[in-house]
Structure 1
Amino acid sequence: MSPTGGRPDIEGVRRAAWRQRLSRLDTLVSPYVFVSPFFLLFVVVGMFPLAYTAWVSVHDWGLLAGRGDFAGADNYRRVLEDRYFWNALRNTISIFLLSSIPQVLIALGLAGLLDTQLRARGLWRMSVLLPFVVAPAAVALIFGNVFGDRYGLANEVVQAIGLDPIRWHVDTLASHLAIASMVNWRWTGYNALIFLAAMQAVPRDVYESAALDGAGRIRQFVSMTVPMIRPTVLFVVITSTIGGLQIFAEPRLFDTQGLGGSDRQYQTLTMYLWELGWRVRDLGMASAVAWLLFLIIIIFALVNLLVSRRAGTLRGQR
């Protein structure tokens, strides 16, 4: 009411209504404003390069000559007819399986150990992250000496037990194992800390109840801990899949020539892509390989997602 005539204060009501509308607008818009920098950055460094690569992949595009005529699917056809592409795909999948599967399993076990009442737990948790902060070039130098064909530490151990030395840089499976060892050494501790963070969120009283029922540590870990951190396991599996299929630094530095071995026995898809773009200087074919690799990663990620959901459904039915 106004102080003079007893009528409602129209201006005050309007100001209150305006403030209320601003408050509702702020509630609706503010979250999007806060997250907008990420999406803007993602569009600039993620979506635009992806779309531009798709555009380049359907043109005759040289590194020096620039864009040529429209080629359609011709670049993809040339890539799929190239035997080096299929060789690189086999090598990529082989190294990915030899690295990602042991990496996730070892990281799970290591996280389970770090989740127990160890002495100096902070020191152990920090130490597992040290390989991750080491530069890939330093890792390649270390493991290049460990897996040296003549005087490497691994061959010294092999010969000490009476076996013939292994040609780590020549034999296909041996080179894949050596490269996978580099990947596992560098990333296992990082994934273990992710698992550990998820395990720390599991209520402790659940383990106390299980212990009263007679469940041992291993039984608790397999039947309780792993199912309760299943979303985190799925996250690590998918990120390991993406990283494993895009592996470049380790095999590139494992070979001084940079081609993936004398017979390309450990050339990966990213190394094949690099060779097409910077040695052959055919950016059209290189972009086609990039998009094929993108589709392969999507397929592997979807398979991982479906398998994990299927496993969770079957466990829930039991």
Structure 2
Amino acid sequence: MSLKVDAPAPARRPGPHPPGPAKPARSGGGLARFDLRATPYFLVSPYFLLFTLFGVFPLGYTLWVSLHDWELGGDKTFLGLDNYIELIADEAFWNSVINTVGIFVMSTIPQLVLALMLANALNKRIRGRLFFRLGILLPLVTSVVAVAVVFTQLYARDYGMANWFLGLFGVDRIEWQNQSWTAWIAISTMIDWRWTGYNAIILLAAMQTIPKDLYEAASLDGASARRQFWQITVPMLRPTLIFVVFISTIGGLTLYAEPVMFEGNPTLAGGATGQYQTVAMFIVKEGFRDFDMGYASAAAWLLFALILIGTLINYSFTRRIGGNK
């Protein structure tokens, strides 16, 4: 007797599923593409709105005012270019330009040289680097009024420390506020003391981004520290140097607070004969003391042109540092 066992039927392979219902097309595709394109403009639009409101509009409005005899609170008469013609022939205006450029040159060149030296020193491995880095920023957070009071006393004729120090070498007492060049020196030291540390920190931050491999390779080739500084550090700092020169030029040519505080009893005249009156002081005096807004606006536009010229000159000079490109 034999048992007959049926073999199991082979398993069926599942066939392909029938296609489901078609998905409806997205109706928001165009809106999504619009969002991708428009979102960046929405994100940057607040800046351009504020720039237009507080930058472009004041420039245009000042230009319009400069073409008028615009007395503050009085009548407004269209003059065309008469304010500019009168301003170009005004000796007081050109005196303020000379003072501004003189103080700018006296303060900016030593300031940038000292900032570069400080940044290079703080970039080395020395003890207390953090302490020194914080220390050079302390003058920046000091009130400009406090700085001016201290430096005014420092350069006082009878009891100032500057005259006391010079007296040790037989130099007579100097009336620092009575001559142009002495007033320029006093104001320049005030500016340098306050802003050198700020520029040094910017240059230091740029120095720390320079690859160390460049210095190691130069050391292996026998390059001295001095040669490494001029052949590696300075060329690599060129973009940052250009930026520092830009902001120093703008700040130096719009100088106002330091000479006003140095005057002691501010009349915006810059001394008895205007020996340290800057263009910014001239503009404020004409506009808000003499109430001639049209004349002051014309002076403001000439100051704007002076800043552009100074910036272009400094840019063409600075971009050649470390190379000819």
TM-score (norm 2): 0.90
DSSP-derived class of the 1:193 partner: helix
Deviates more, 1:43-52 or 1:227-236: 43-52
Partner of 2:86: 78
From 7, 22, 38, the equivalent of 1:29 is 38
Partner of 1:120: 128
Partner of 2:273: 263
Report deviation, 1:113: 0.7
Which sections of structure 1, spanning at least 5 residues, go unmatched?
none
In structure 2, C-alpha distance between the alignment counterparts of 1:60 and 1:135, rounded to whole Å: 37
Report deviation, 1:22: 4.5
Partner of 2:184: 176
Partner of 1:62: 71
| Structure with larger Rg | 2
Q: Which amino acid aligns with 1:272?
A: F
Query: Is 1:228 aligned with 2:236?
Result: yes
Report deviation, 1:177: 0.5
Deviations 1:135-165 (A, max 9, x none): 1100100100111122110000000121112
Deviates more, 1:21-30 or 1:203-212: 21-30
Q: Which amino acid aligns with 1:129?
A: L
Deviations 1:38-91 (A, max 9, x none): 2221111111111111111001101121x5111100111111111100100000
Partner of 1:14: 26
Which sections of structure 2, spanning at least 5 residues, go unmatched?
1-16
Contact 1:191 1:236 in 2 (8 A): yes
TM-score (norm 1): 0.92
What does 1:36-55 align with in structure 2 at a 5 Å threshold?
A: 36-55=45-64
Report deviation, 1:307: 2.5
From 95, 102, 126, the equivalent of 1:94 is 102
From 286, 294, 298, the equivalent of 1:276 is 286
In structure 1, C-alpha distance between the alignment counterparts of 2:255 and 2:119, rounded to whole Å: 24
What does 1:162-173 align with in structure 2 at a 5 Å threshold?
A: 162-173=170-181
Report deviation, 1:7: 5.8
Report deviation, 1:257: 3.5
Contact 1:149 1:169 in 2 (8 A): no
In structure 2, C-alpha distance between the alignment counterparts of 1:30 and 1:109, rounded to whole Å: 45
DSSP-derived class of the 1:60 partner: strand
Partner of 1:293: 303
DSSP-derived class of the 1:262 partner: coil
In structure 1, C-alpha distance between the alignment counterparts of 2:130 and 2:20, rounded to whole Å: 71
In structure 2, C-alpha distance between the alignment counterparts of 1:102 and 1:22, rounded to whole Å: 58
Q: Which amino acid aligns with 1:77?
A: I
Q: Which amino acid aligns with 1:167?
A: E
Number of paired residues? Answer: 307
Q: Which amino acid aligns with 1:296?
A: L
Q: Which amino acid aligns with 1:230?
A: R
Identical aligned residues as a percent: 47
Q: Which amino acid aligns with 1:219?
A: R
Partner of 1:139: 147
